[in-house]
Chains A and B, each alone.
Chain A
Amino acid sequence: MISNSKNMFEFRSKGSGAFLMQLLKLDGPLLFLISLISLIGVFVLYSASNESLEVLSRQLLRILIAFTALIITSQLSIDFIRRISPWGFFSGLLLLLLVLFSGDIGQGAQRWLNLGVRFQPSEVMKLAVPMMVAWYLYDKKIPPTGKQMLIIFILILMPSFLIAKQPDLGTSILVFTAGMLVVFLSGIHFRYIIILIFLAFPSSLLLWKFMAEYQKQRVMTLLNPGSDPLGAGYNIIQSKIAIGSGGLFGKGWTNGSQVQLEFLPEKSTDFIFAVIGEEFGLLGLLTILLIYILIIARGLFIASQATDLYSRLLAGSISLTFFVYVFVNAAMVIGLMPIVGVPLPLISYGGTSMVTLMIGFGILMSINSNRKLLST
């Protein structure tokens, strides 16, 4: 058919590199963009960590592990991934319950489970929840009926509630969002969306009651950071100074005074966006944002090309969730959102979240190679 011959043509023109890609079931553009942003991230982290080689080597090791996870995931067929989705979801739910009763306490919250290696079950749910929702909708007629939607809400809210109780509001919101994005992509009628938005107001009041004192303070700080410049407002004030003083071109790599003189808090993790802003300026941030947009665009393209509902919904959700990560982190660092502890994907220093992200990209690549396999 036409699409087939076109693919054959592309195949020939690209040569042996593309051949290797297809053989390994990898997506060239996506892999290139992910590698590029990871590489930039390493350079930024080197500066943000005050040129610490130890931090650098640990991050490189994490990247290695994460890419390995990506390659392994991409080798799995999407049918297999779909079939194990409920298993993944329910075992994740079980682990969350285990954390609730016996988890290690890290940074004031019960998030870690010690299974030989310490890991956070809530990270698993970032993928397991959209997988579960997509699995549930896979053989249903869309848009889903009201009864189906009720079941979906229960599926999303159970893990979200458990994670919020750890307490880890940031991850809870991200897990909830990942699930809701599948619902949105499944084409639910706009009247439901409007109802949901209206429900958002009373539920946000409920959320406010749920929030810990420090979380409430973060919201209040966002509204008026000057009210407590040495306390809760300090982070936002210093990150705005870092970004603002970067100007158009930035102060140069390893030359940002806010970063190097340690005025900027959590500069290697949640506030690394401000490091880029200070040292590489507006142009640096726009470049980073452009690469993120290209990654998301590629993800959405793969979603649009997917051949079954499960793949489509999951690919769309993974791509849009990735966008939410980028947006929430950037918005919080530039003082548009309260500080919720969401790292900048692929750049921030830290382990579990990078592996989760790479597995997500592995799933995207599996979906993409499945489509090509079908079309040949």
Chain B
Amino acid sequence: MSENRYIKDHAHEKSLFMSRIIISSLVGLFFIFVIIIRLVQLQIVEYDFFNQKAQGNRINLKATLPPRGSIFDRNGKVLAENITAFQLEIIPEQVEDLDRSLERLLSLKLIDQSQIKAIKQQIKNSQKFKSIRLRSNLSDQEIAIFAANRATFSGIELQPRLVRNYPQKEFTSHVVGYVGSISKQDQSRLNRSLYDPNEKTGKTGTELFNEITLHGEPGYYQFIANSRGRQIPINPTDINSNILQNKPATAGSNIFLSIDLDLQILATQLLDNRRGSVVAINPNNGEVLALVSSPSFNPNIFNNNLTSNAYDELQKNTNQPLFNRAVLGTYSPGSTIKPILGLAALQLGVVNLTHRRLCKGHYSLPGNTHRYRDWLATGHGSVNLHNAIAQSCDVFFYEISGQIGIDRMHNYLDQFGLGQKTNIELTGERVGLIPSTLWKKTNFSKNEDKTWFPGETVIASIGQGYMLATPLQLANATAALATRGKRFKPTLLSAIEDPLSKIKIKSEPQQLNQIKVDSVTYWEEIISAMHNVMQGSGTAKNVGTGASYKMAGKSGTVQVVSVGQEEEYDQENLDERFQDHALFVAFAPLHNPQIAVAVIVENGNSGSRVAAPIAKRIMDQYLGF
């Protein structure tokens, strides 16, 4: 029975099954067809797209960094250079026992306990085959220590790297500046496509201002990398090798500064770590020969990451060694502006050459009892303009100040570049301040403060009150006196040199406005009074008398605290920080001026006794005496 059923259904069963097999086959072939269509789409139609994607996957780009340009003084002496220094690097994947290796480095005093956590973090965050810096700038002794123990370390090596070196150390730090790691602020300033994140960039001085010139342009090379970025060696005969491209880096240009290193060193030594500044300028082209801010610092300490708190110490130092007083420090110019005001008085006809005034040691405005004191309590007696400059008589200038008026004072001081940026090649330069009625009106918020008072004109006439100038501005104004009104933009740049061709491009002096007066005799009158200051009967006659060349100068002694009406200035009993600033401006030789100098010694008490000798020594050296 069952046999019968089996035979009966056999044919039907088989044909039913066969139809199902055929249907399955057709459906299967359709699916295969779909896959083939998709493969044709990927491998034929979109081949170029995916091929490019694959190339993009495997070809990596690495920048080759340009060597930074060197910085020289005007005579080619090195101020900043790249030197090879050894740094300790670790390749994590080659280290057998990281903790033990770090401990051993610690016991050899090659790393600091405080570093270890940061090192471990860095190793964790980066690829295992990439070299990580443990220490830079190893000393000879440290190199020897590591070399002796090298066999016991795996994956830790000494690597030569270029670091910035400043052979003149403290002597040029404010002019040359220094380089440091790229910070957040730097990133917004720099063209980031030109920089590697580990690169250093100029932080201050010439290194900062001329960053683009010094940096150069990076090149690149392409290499084959796997999915984790590891470089895969490639056989040069491989067809792949010719698709890889290279572009060499363009080295940064060398910069020759106008600085005379010998003069710079002398000026630094003369300031002898006192707070102060010296700026010397060639009046005939505006080239800055010396630019010193004291105290200074050794920029090389920033290369060594072990002494990172050295920076904090410098910042905490109350003498502010990091602060560039030459362009950032603003001081009351004091009596150093008297020659300019004297010139203004002559040109405006307020005084003539024979005009005399009586100095009783103090001055009061009409209808007012307030006494404006002369620095010489006994008074200078009868003085003309020449004596007033030579003896630095304050009362003479008090008396004529009302006739000149604050706005005309402003006008003449302005022509000498005071109260405006000199646009020297340093970042952050201060404007200073030459007040005027307009300035007072626009810069004070309260109505009663907006009015200019006659008394303010009186003290402005001896460079006090609101008036502020940087040492560079004072040197620049003195240079304009020396050239009888021919002005140049002060510059630190002498030439830029292409490092490969050694072609030097000299920078051209940039002449500014000519200061015009009606008669040459006005200039000669003022300059002869300044000559008298140093080599006649003037305030600094002890400094200049006996020199074998003719020089001109003007002292300034500026109050830091105001002395009350009935009090006396008592140097002995005043805290050092409240003692007067000593200022001196000078130029030489008298008739063919080669150098103009401004000297400021903070709390130096006397311009003629403290600042003037410094100016004299600088002019001696520069002129070869």
A interface residues (Cβ-Cβ under 8 A, vs B): 139, 141-143, 181, 184-185, 187, 238, 240-248, 257-258, 260-263, 277, 281-282, 285-286, 289, 293, 296-297, 300, 303-304, 309, 312-313, 316, 320, 323, 327, 330-331, 334-336
What 0/1 readout, one digit per residue, does chain B (30-48) give for beta carbons within 8 Å of chain A?
Answer: 0110111011101110110
User: Which B residues touch A300, using CB under 8 A?
Assistant: 21, 24-25
| B43 in complex: contacting residue of A262, A277, A327, CB < 8 Å | A277
Q: How far is the CA of A267 from the CA of B323 in the complex (A)?
A: 62
Identify which of B52-60, B287-295, B401-409, B464-472 touches chain A.
Answer: B52-60
User: Which B residues touch A285, using CB under 8 A?
Assistant: 39, 43
Identify which of B9-17, B440-448, B570-578 touches chain A.
Answer: B9-17
Say whether, besides A248-B43, A303-B21, A334-B38, A261 and B32 are in contact (CB < 8 Å).
Answer: no
A-B contact pairs, 23 of them (CB 8 A): A139-B2, A142-B13, A185-B21, A238-B57, A241-B54, A244-B43, A244-B51, A244-B53, A244-B54, A245-B54, A247-B43, A248-B47, A260-B226, A261-B227, A277-B42, A277-B43, A282-B39, A286-B36, A289-B36, A303-B17, A323-B31, A327-B35, A330-B35
User: Which B residues touch A313, using CB under 8 A?
Assistant: 17
**B20:A184 contact, CB within 8 angstroms:** yes
**B20:A257 contact, CB within 8 angstroms:** no
**B57:A316 contact, CB within 8 angstroms:** no
User: Which A residues touch B232, using CB under 8 A?
Assistant: 261
Residue B453 interfacial (CB < 8 Å): no
**B43:A309 contact, CB within 8 angstroms:** no
Q: How far is the CA of A240 from the CA of B31 in the complex (A)?
A: 19
Say whether, besides A243-B39, A327-B31, A304 and B58 are in contact (CB < 8 Å).
Answer: no
User: Which B residues touch A185, using CB under 8 A?
Assistant: 17, 20-21, 24
**A277:B24 contact, CB within 8 angstroms:** no
What's the minimum C-beta distance from A199 to chain B, rounded to whole angstroms? 19
**B58:A261 contact, CB within 8 angstroms:** yes
| A262 in complex: contacting residue of B14, B44, B50, B226, CB < 8 Å | B226
Name the prevailing secondary structure of the B interface residues.
Answer: helix
Residue B249 interfacial (CB < 8 Å): no
Give the size of the chain B interface in residues (CB under 8 angstroms). Answer: 41
Residue B400 interfacial (CB < 8 Å): no
**B21:A240 contact, CB within 8 angstroms:** no
Residue B224 interfacial (CB < 8 Å): yes
**B44:A242 contact, CB within 8 angstroms:** no
Interface residues of B in 220-244 (CB under 8 A from A): 224-228, 232
Residue B515 interfacial (CB < 8 Å): no
Residue B625 interfacial (CB < 8 Å): no
Say whether, besides A304-B21, A312-B17, A243 and B42 are in contact (CB < 8 Å).
Answer: yes
What's the minimum C-beta distance from A136 to chain B, rounded to whole angstroms? 15
Closest residue of chain B to A313 (Cβ to Cβ) is: B17
User: Which B residues touch A241, using CB under 8 A?
Assistant: 50, 53-54, 57
Q: How far is the CA of A330 from the CA of B224 in the complex (A)?
A: 29
In the complex, besides A263-B226, A282-B39, 16 extra interface pairs with C-beta distance below 8 angstroms are: A142-B16, A185-B21, A244-B47, A244-B50, A245-B47, A257-B58, A258-B54, A261-B225, A262-B227, A277-B42, A282-B44, A286-B39, A296-B28, A300-B24, A327-B35, A336-B35
